[in-house]
Amino acid sequence: MSTLLVVGSIVWSTAKVGISPMPSSRKAREVIIRLMANTGTGPVYDLGSGWGGLVIRLAKKHPDRKIVGYEVSFVPWLVSVFFKKTLGLDNLEIHKKDFLLVDLSGADVLVCFLHTDGMRDVAKKLAAEKISNVFLISNYFALPSCQPETAMLISDFYKSPIYRYRL
């Protein structure tokens, strides 16, 4: 019964936001960390933090930097909060919220691993709220109508791109 509830909850939120909580691979996380070089020391927001694998890696790597995750899917969010507390990561906050409804102006770096429509929504939000002076690092999916300042390929079978934009 509880397995059904967990699976049902994940399926429901996947249908709602159009993407499952599939984590970035270990190699993708390492490329994201490399692309974060020279982005300052300000807050980093993960738009859709899933099970928390990326935000936990970032919080450990940058103990003096504030790392914030936003996640709508209840079970992955709960698991990520459990690990945050277990690991005592005081520089990490994980909110169960739709990132499209929160103020992103406090971020110095936005990271995401979404999908084509999700990137369109991010682009619309950033433009509508005139958010600038921020880096956006996107795993696999490009930001529409924007030229990345750099891109790196993950050293895996698919050679998937990770883009870094300066907005």
Ligand X SMILES: C[S@@+](CC[C@H](N)C(=O)[O-])C[C@H]1O[C@@H](n2cnc3c(N)ncnc32)[C@H](O)[C@@H]1O
Residue 54 engages ligand X in binding (rule: CB under 6 A): yes
Indicate the residue among 23 and 161 with the shorter CB distance to ligand X. 23
Pairwise CA distance, residues 142 & 52, whole Å = 22
Residue 48 engages ligand X in binding (rule: CB under 6 A): yes
Residue 140 engages ligand X in binding (rule: CB under 6 A): no
Residue 17 engages ligand X in binding (rule: CB under 6 A): yes
CB of 45 to ligand X, least distance (A): 10
Residue 160 engages ligand X in binding (rule: CB under 6 A): no
Q: Which of 79, 72, 18, 31 is nearest to 53 (CA)?
A: 79
Angstrom distances, CA of residue 24 to CA of 51, 102, 112, 137: 10, 23, 9, 13
Number of helices (H), then strands (E), in the chain:
5, 7
Give residues 79-118 in contact with ligand X (rule: CB under 6 A).
98-100, 113-114, 118
Residue 75 engages ligand X in binding (rule: CB under 6 A): no
Indicate the residue among 1 and 154 with the shorter CB distance to ligand X. 154
CB of 133 to ligand X, least distance (A): 22
CB of 67 to ligand X, least distance (A): 12
Going across the sheet that includes 44-47, the strands are: 92-95, 67-70, 44-47, 109-112, 135-139, 161-166, 150-153
**Judged by CB under 6 A, which of 45, 65, 73, 93 binds ligand X?**
73
Angle at 61 between CA 49 and CA 99, to 5 degrees: 20
